[in-house]
Amino acid sequence: MRDHPEKFDVGFLADIFGQKADALHGFEFAPVGTGQVGDSFRVTLDWADGVEAPSSLVAKCPAGDATSRETARNLHLYEIETQFYAQFAAACGARVPHSYLVDYDAASGDGILMFEDMAPAQQIAQMDGCSLAQLELALDEAALLHKSHWNDARLPDIAWLNYSQDAERRAFLTSVLPAMYPEWRARYEGRLSADILDMGAELVARFGDYITPRPGPVVLTHGDLRLDNMLFSDAAGRAILLDWQTASCGNPMGDVAYCIQTSLSDKNARATHEQDLVARYHAALGACVGDYDGAAAWADYRRAAFAGFIMAVFSAMMVERTERGDEMFAVMAERSGWQALHVDALSLI
């Protein structure tokens, strides 16, 4: 597998666009993005005169760091993302970059994507947070994604969409989290409020009950719906969703709670606006929801408030440790923690 731009050549790149090797004079590449378990590069293409093909693309490759790459393989992240692009991207409702090449090697668990360069659309740093209007754009895309396969009976039968629902996976997570949490807590002691850290300890103690499957709507979810995985463009007027390594079959409110909690930097602003944001999202779903009313959605939202906290604990302890990563996971845990405390999420386990 050509899993890094250093392994590309003009023939390989030209063939992706149905061109002969001599149609591409050369190419250059440079890192782009801030992924933890995947390395992305903007590839600039120098085509011969008259060739109608994109002047650049983005190549998303397996992580160069061995620890992050092995984590991604073990969690099937490269498989999930490549299969999402191959099977769902064109019909998922949300704004997703068009893919030129999707390649997955089942033997190694590695995958590579070549997709549309969305420049000049810009990423908003998750740690900075976004405006309420930008958050509404993100939730608009979430509604389009979720309604596209609302209660689709086929989703639970697609293996790669259901790794997180597997009984063996749930048992593993339930057993490893109690061993992991004390070390994670020690890392962030002093950075996070004791109230949040104590809440986390209670969640860990009741984690088996928390991840037990519950009745509710089943949709195609993103699984990591935060600002670092989106682009915003004034011209497009829509948020663009990236990083589908955690796409899954599940309850839609996990995406909604996670998006709201990680996107607003002010916990008081989040507490002030979140009920209106959830109601707005629910209304955007339209008739597909059937009898899943606003009260049921709000209850599921409250229970899903732990989403960012759990992601922060597992991710911080399982990928390459960096200064930026430490702070990113601290911010994620902090915002999620305050949300869970404000909506009394523990009472719903």
| pLDDT value, residue 324 | 84
- 15 Cα distance to chain centroid: 30
Question: Which residues on adjacent β-strands are paired with residue 114?
Answer: 59, 101
DSSP 8-state class, residue 116: E
First to last CA, the chain: 45
Is residue 294 within 8 Å of residue 328, measured between CB atoms?
A: no
Q: What's the whole-model pTM score?
A: 0.92
Helical ranges in the chain per DSSP H = 10-16, 66-74, 77-87, 132-148, 167-188, 194-205, 207-210, 253-263, 267-285, 294-303, 307-318, 323-342
Q: Tokens 């195609």 label which residue? A: 220
| pLDDT value, residue 235 | 63
Instruction: Determine the 3-state secondary structure of 57 from DSSP.
Output: strand
Residues in the chain: 349
β 56-62/99-105 pair status: unpaired
| pLDDT value, residue 323 | 86
| Alpha-carbon distance values, 222 to 88, 254, 258, 326 (Å) | 11, 9, 10, 23
Q: Which tokens belong to 7?
A: 């392994």
Question: Which residues on adjacent β-strands are paired with residue 128?
Answer: none
| Alpha-carbon distance values, 97 to 7, 57, 92, 107 (Å) | 23, 10, 12, 27
Q: What is the pLDDT along the chain (349 residues), one digit of tens a residue?
A: 888 999 999 999 999 999 999 999 999 999 997 767 889 999 999 999 999 999 999 999 999 888 889 888 988 999 999 999 999 999 999 999 999 999 999 999 999 999 999 999 999 988 899 999 999 999 999 999 999 999 999 999 999 999 877 777 788 888 888 999 999 999 999 999 999 999 999 999 999 899 888 899 999 999 999 999 999 986 668 999 999 999 999 999 999 999 999 999 999 999 999 999 999 999 999 999 999 999 999 999 999 999 999 989 988 887 778 888 889 899 999 999 999 999 999 999 9
Helical ranges in 120-214 per DSSP H = 132-148, 167-188, 194-205, 207-210
Distance CA 69, CA 81 (A): 14
Distance CA 63, CA 87 (A): 23
